[in-house]
A and B are shown apart, each in its own frame.
Chain A
Amino acid sequence: MLQAFLQNIINGLAQGSVYALVALGYTMVYGVLQFINFAHSDIFMLGAFAGFYLAKWLSPAVSNPIFLLVSVILGSMAFCVAVGLTVERIAYRPLRSAPRLNVLITAIGVSLFLENLGQIVFGADPQVFPSLIATQSLLGGEGLVLNNIQVIVVIVSLVLMVLLHWIVRHTKLGIAMRAVSFDIEVANLMGIPTDTIIIFTFTIGSSLAGAAAILYGLSYPKIEPLLGVMIGLKAFVAAVFGGIGNIMGAAVGGIVLGLAEAFTVYYISSTFRDAIAFGILIFILLFRPAGLFGTFRREKV
């Protein structure tokens, strides 16, 4: 009983930290531009494929697994940043003053485009993500499984989140980003270059998605072009759960969602795994629409 409980916590944490990293990208873009970047989930997917090809190309040359892992993660992050910034520049920036509905529809369009392009380029069949690091059981026996991959996933996520927290709190760009998310027009008037900040936001969000994609590939080595859809939706739920626009909230929301799923699968049924996220979402939006840590702004009359 207790073992099962602990096992679910371990699984939930590992899955939840991936959700959290992706959720951060949603929440930061929402904070700055007030729209759901639907394409974010597909940037995550592209990151996984970038890692897949990079690992194939690098693994004959690099023997040190740690070095290989780090370079694949960095490579995937860089690729995601490139895609994220391109999408921002081509599809979103021209719509900066357009109605939000149009931006939302464009974001959906970009997302569909990337998904279907992925199906053409990578093929619709799932690919096996190379195991960059051999799986080692750290805590075997008695039905409780804890392996090195799970530890790596949690640790890398934690490091990235702490780093993000530091950037947002203490660097000039981070402070400017918070100012923009508080009120983009006033920030603009105060001389903050909002376009630069938006680029910065997309950079960070996309790079976290890239890292998350590799961590996901390590734990669930089956990747396909529609991979991002569910993960993206769930990460978004996590962001809303924590209070969209709130960085801390996204991290906590991701973990909570990961745990909730792990327990649902164990105690109810694996078919309801995807339903639980939406159940949480509807519940939170009905009873605390601002999320766990969010504040609700009232429209001025």
Chain B
Amino acid sequence: MKIFQVAILLGVVALLWGLNFFFEENINPYILRVIINCGIGMILAMSLNLVNGCAGQFSLGHAGFMGVGAYMSATITTVLNLSPFFQTDLGVGCAIVTGGIAAAIAGYLVGLPSLRLKGDYLAIVTLGFGEIIRICFLNIESVGGARGLSGIPPKSNFFWVYLWVVITFVALLRLLRSSYGRAILSVRENEIAAESMGIDISRYKIVAFVVSSFFAGIAGGLFAHLQSFIDPNSFVFNKSIEAVIMVVIGGMGSLSGAIFGGIIVSLLPELLRVFEQYRMVIFPLILIILMLVRPMGLLGHKEIWEIFRKKASS
């Protein structure tokens, strides 16, 4: 069993490594950039899905956690000037993980109010936290304030981003397929019943927030080291909304749906580039129409393979 897992892991790493080389040699840099952006979108969507889709809480502050991860990792690699190690791939990787941890801590703090608040209230509070985080960056001069932070080593490539996509996917899938995951889902389904079956609902709301924020922080770190420039405007409210749209399009609670949502929302602006100025009108229209005609999102609570399995057996 163990050896089998390690072999798969090595296989995936080798495959991504190979694809990375292949893409960098053979694909137009613009398209590669779009593909990498899709990867970051997937991580964002999958992580937000844990809170909004699985735990049934409603967070509108995902951009804030992304921002924490981005700023934390960029501070380590760019501002602090600790050692040349943090200019290397591995060093940047460590910085990004640290960014994820910082975001997880922020997620813990934001998760606390979720213990007392529901629905719209929670949405507004998380929105408020997201904005406060952004305003903090705006006021910290050492990370550039409103001017932003530039000169971040551009180390995020296809390999690193998609390695994190795989890690996020596997980690979240395994979490959901465990007793802890069932506890989180039971909170969404019925809080009072969950409590009566011995589930400490406060604890699992926090767990959802912390895990979700960690991966949002990772996405932020990857984003920072892709753009090599970040400013507080990279993490505005609209970014959070974008993450919500990803989750909603894919289907709340569906991990594979979140991946689709992440791809669609990252691709759509590129596909609608012809309509440049109209695309931001078309976007919300799609959201409204989706809510009216298919409120569960494309996949609902189901995973894509469940749908195929059903088709195959019937």
* Chain A residues engaging chain B, CB cutoff 8 angstroms: 30, 34-36, 91, 94-95, 98-102, 104-106, 108-113, 116-117, 119-120, 229, 233, 236-237, 240, 269, 271-272, 274-275, 277-279, 281-282, 285-286, 289, 299, 301
Contacts and interface: CB of A to CB of B under 8 A. Distances in A.
B292 A106 contact: yes
A281 B128 contact: yes
Given A104-B119, A110-B284, A98 B135 contact: no
21 contacts: A30-B120, A94-B292, A95-B295, A101-B252, A108-B244, A112-B241, A112-B283, A112-B284, A113-B281, A120-B281, A233-B131, A236-B124, A237-B124, A271-B138, A271-B139, A275-B131, A281-B125, A285-B117, A286-B113, A299-B192, A301-B192
B281 A117 contact: yes
Given A278-B129, A289-B121, A106 B280 contact: no
B132 A105 contact: no
A285 B237 contact: no
B127 interface: yes
Interface in B279-293: 280-281, 283-285, 287-288, 291-292
Interface of B: 58, 113, 116-117, 119-121, 123-125, 127-129, 131-132, 135, 138-139, 192, 237-238, 241, 244, 248, 252, 277-278, 280-281, 283-285, 287-288, 291-292, 295
A282 B109 CA distance: 12
A8 B291 CA distance: 45
Given A110-B284, A274-B131, A278-B131, A285 B125 contact: yes
Contact of B288 (A30, A113, A279, A285): A113
Contacts of B139: 269, 271-272
Nearest to B295: A102
B288 A289 contact: no
A278 B280 CA distance: 27
B123 A109 contact: no
Given A112-B280, A120-B277, A271-B139, A91 B288 contact: yes
Contacts of A116: 280-281, 283-284
A229 B237 contact: yes
A226 B72 CA distance: 29
B238 to A, nearest CB: 8
Given A36-B124, A240-B124, A105 B117 contact: no
B218 to A, nearest CB: 25
Contacts of A30: 120
A113 B286 CA distance: 10
A279 B120 CA distance: 17
B116 A282 contact: no
Contacts, number: 111
B295 A98 contact: yes
A116 B279 CA distance: 9
Contact of B248 (A105, A111, A277, A282): A105
Point out which of A112, A117, A240 has the most chain B C-beta atoms below 10 A from its C-beta: A112
A301 to B, nearest CB: 6
A110 B284 CA distance: 7
A102 B248 CA distance: 9
Nearest to B121: A285
A235 B224 CA distance: 33
Contact of A285 (B113, B252, B295): B113
B120 A36 contact: yes
Contacts of A279: 132
A153 to B, nearest CB: 26
A108 B285 CA distance: 11
Nearest to B240: A108
Contact of B278 (A120, A236, A301): A120
B113 to A, nearest CB: 6
Contact of A271 (B58, B113, B135): B135
B107 to A, nearest CB: 15
Point out which of B138, B238, B248, B295 has the most chain A C-beta atoms below 10 A from its C-beta: B295
B248 A274 contact: no
Nearest to B296: A102
Contacts of A105: 244, 248, 287, 291
Contacts of B237: 229
Contacts of A120: 277-278, 281
